[in-house]
Amino acid sequence: MVTSKILSNIARHISLTDEETSFFISLITCKTLPKKSWLLQADQECRYLSYVHCGALRSFYIDKAGKESTIMFAVSDWWITDMHCYLNNKPAMTHIETLEESTVLQINRTDFDRLLEAVPKFERFFRILMQNAYTREQLRVMENLSSTAEERYQSFLKKYPQIVKQVTQKQIASYLGITPEFLSALRKQKN
Amino acid sequence: MVTSKILSNIARHISLTDEETSFFISLITCKTLPKKSWLLQADQECRYLSYVHCGALRSFYIDKAGKESTIMFAVSDWWITDMHCYLNNKPAMTHIETLEESTVLQINRTDFDRLLEAVPKFERFFRILMQNAYTREQLRVMENLSSTAEERYQSFLKKYPQIVKQVTQKQIASYLGITPEFLSALRKQKN
DNA sequence: TTAATTTCTTAAGGTACCTTAAGTTCGCTA
DNA sequence: TAGCGAACTTAAGGTACCTTAAGAAATTAA
């Protein structure tokens, strides 16, 4: 199992002893999924918080009308789950699919609690992770409220140049909250 | 200074010793602001994280075109700040105004760090606070992407019945991302 | 390589929501 | 208690973005 990447992700915010490191590693499991497979489906129990070692994933919501809305993309070194349902033990509201072959390191809910209890430093780590996730979502809400589709698209290109390379326009459109047809029209008029 | 409310807010997630409690209290300051005053203005340094003891506040963003977008409302027992700028010591992007006379308990950035260092239990407290804020924002993004204005308005009424009583329709409209005129039209057709 | 599938594009017609502007009601302050 | 400014309403005309449908291009499967 490849753990150096996840350990340096963690080391960005907290320092672990060797013992703490091995304990953490004992709690995570590695999973490799082929392209276009499910990491999670709506209504399933959301068992895992996943760190993306490599690959690309997308979480999305399907409303009653059947329309997909992309909640987030996760590429190498990102964390992904249906956070609300993972933390509150509720059936998942979202789907998570692989966009290419992906390897993830996972921790289940019980072990997550054990980890926080045994190594309180992880409270700090996840506080910072949640903090960043919160402010990122808040900025996204602000942008959705105050910008046009064109501006949001330009901002997405600028903010996530790596993701742009790994996902389709249809998926970007559903992240921006517009139709693929309209995104296509926007792209045409700019170039 | 009235501290029982903020202490039971904290006690919902962590238990403090008497000593920890007094240390925490030594770090917070109390401020009462009249109606229609500023807790924060854009471009100012964002010094404080504020707990709303009583009253009602609103944080909002003003874009280049001068349009206001409401980011959040905070009534009694909520926490509010420009989180991104508070945590990263950047000039505020948002404004926070009182909608009525309000009393807030505040902690400045330096003391926030001292608190987390001296009483690591607060890492847990703020992890949970950030977690909840994150999942709330994520649900809002989902709703903004997948629902009509009418649906978002109904959902707002249901989710925040207390807030509805304390804010104007113009402010609700700017939270939903629609014009007050359109909100007025929506309300007409339903009743 | 071809066939099948999916993505991307184009275009015409439609709708949700906006802008402007005016009138009405509400809530302050004099 | 009147008068002023803000909030709310109404309505007409406008625009950003959607829906549908079809064809072209790219990707995948065989």
Other C-beta atoms closer than 10 Å to the C-beta of A42 total: 16
Q: Are residues A72 and A115 in the same domain?
A: yes
Please write the tens of the pLDDT for every residue from A110-137: 999 999 999 999 999 999 999 999 999 9
Does residue B106 sit in helix, strand or coil? strand
A89 vs B: CB within 8 A? no
Q: Are residues A17 and A82 in the same domain?
A: yes
CB within 8 Å: B131 and A67: no
CB within 8 Å: A142 and B177: no
Chain centroid to Cα B143, Å, comes to 19
B residues 151..190 contacting A (CB < 8 A): 174, 177
Please write the tens of the pLDDT for every residue from B124-142: 999 999 999 999 999 999 9
Q: Are residues A109 and A65 in the same domain?
A: yes
CB within 8 Å: A134 and B137: yes
Closest C1' nucleotide to A176's CA: D17
Whether A10 is in a domain gets the answer yes
Whether A107 is in a domain gets the answer yes
Domain boundary among A127, A156, A177: A127
Contacts of B67 in chain A (CB under 8 A): 146
CA torsion through residues B12, B18, B20, B22, sign: positive
Q: Tell me how many domains chain A contains.
A: 2
Q: Are residues A76 and A153 in the same domain?
A: no
Please write the tens of the pLDDT for every residue from A60-71: 999 988 999 999
Whether B189 is in a domain gets the answer no
Contacts of B124 in chain A (CB under 8 A): 116, 120, 123, 127
Among all chains, which residue has been given the structure tokens 């602001």? Answer: B33
Q: Are residues A109 and A171 in the same domain?
A: no
**Token pair belonging to B5:** 């409310």
CATH code of residue B76: 2.60.120.10
CB within 8 Å: B61 and A146: yes
Q: What is the distance between the alpha carbons of residues B146 and B124, in angstroms, rounded to a whole number?
A: 33
Other C-beta atoms closer than 10 Å to the C-beta of A190 total: 8
CB within 8 Å: A144 and B144: yes
Q: Are residues A16 and A51 in the same domain?
A: yes
pLDDT at residue number B191 = 46
pLDDT at residue number B94 = 96
Q: Are residues A165 and A122 in the same domain?
A: no
Q: How far is CA A107 from CA A46, A48, A138, B177, in A?
A: 11, 5, 26, 37
CA torsion through residues B72, B73, B79, B81, sign: positive
> Residue B33's closest CA among B96, B101, B80, B79?
B101
Whether B191 is in a domain gets the answer no
Which of A69, A87, A130 lies closest to B142 in CB terms? A69
Mean pLDDT within B52-65? 95
pLDDT interval class at B55 (50, 70, 90) = very high
Q: What is the distance between the alpha carbons of residues A16 and A125, in angstroms, rounded to a whole number?
A: 11
Whether A136 is in a domain gets the answer no
Which residue range is the domain that position A41 belongs to? 4-127
Q: What is the distance between the alpha carbons of residues B172 and B170, in angstroms, rounded to a whole number?
A: 6
CA atom of A31 to C1′ atom of C28, Å: 65
Q: Are residues A181 and A122 in the same domain?
A: no
Q: Are residues A32 and A65 in the same domain?
A: yes
Q: In whole numbers, what is the pLDDT of chain B averaged over residues?
A: 96
Which of B120, B134, B146 lies closest to A63 in CB terms? B146
A146 vs B: CB within 8 A? yes
The full DSSP string for A43-109 is TSB--EEEEEEESEEEEEEE-TT--EEEEEEEETT-EES-HHHHHHT-B-SSEEEESS-EEEEEEEH
Sequence-separated (6 or more) residues with CB below 8 Å from residue B3: B25, B28, B105
- The pLDDT profile of chain A, 191 residues, written as one tens digit per residue, is 689 999 999 999 999 999 999 999 999 999 999 999 999 999 999 999 999 999 999 999 999 889 999 999 999 999 999 999 999 999 999 999 999 999 999 999 999 999 999 999 999 999 999 999 999 999 999 999 999 999 999 999 999 999 999 999 999 999 999 999 999 999 998 64
Contacts of B177 in chain A (CB under 8 A): 144-145
pLDDT interval class at B190 (50, 70, 90) = low
Other C-beta atoms closer than 10 Å to the C-beta of A37 total: 13
Q: Are B121 and B20 in contact (CB under 8 A)?
A: yes
Whether B190 is in a domain gets the answer no
Q: Are residues A109 and A160 in the same domain?
A: no
A117 vs B: CB within 8 A? no
Whether A80 is in a domain gets the answer yes
- Measured between CA atoms, the residue of chain A closest to residue B174 is A145
pLDDT at residue number B189 = 83
Whether A19 is in a domain gets the answer yes
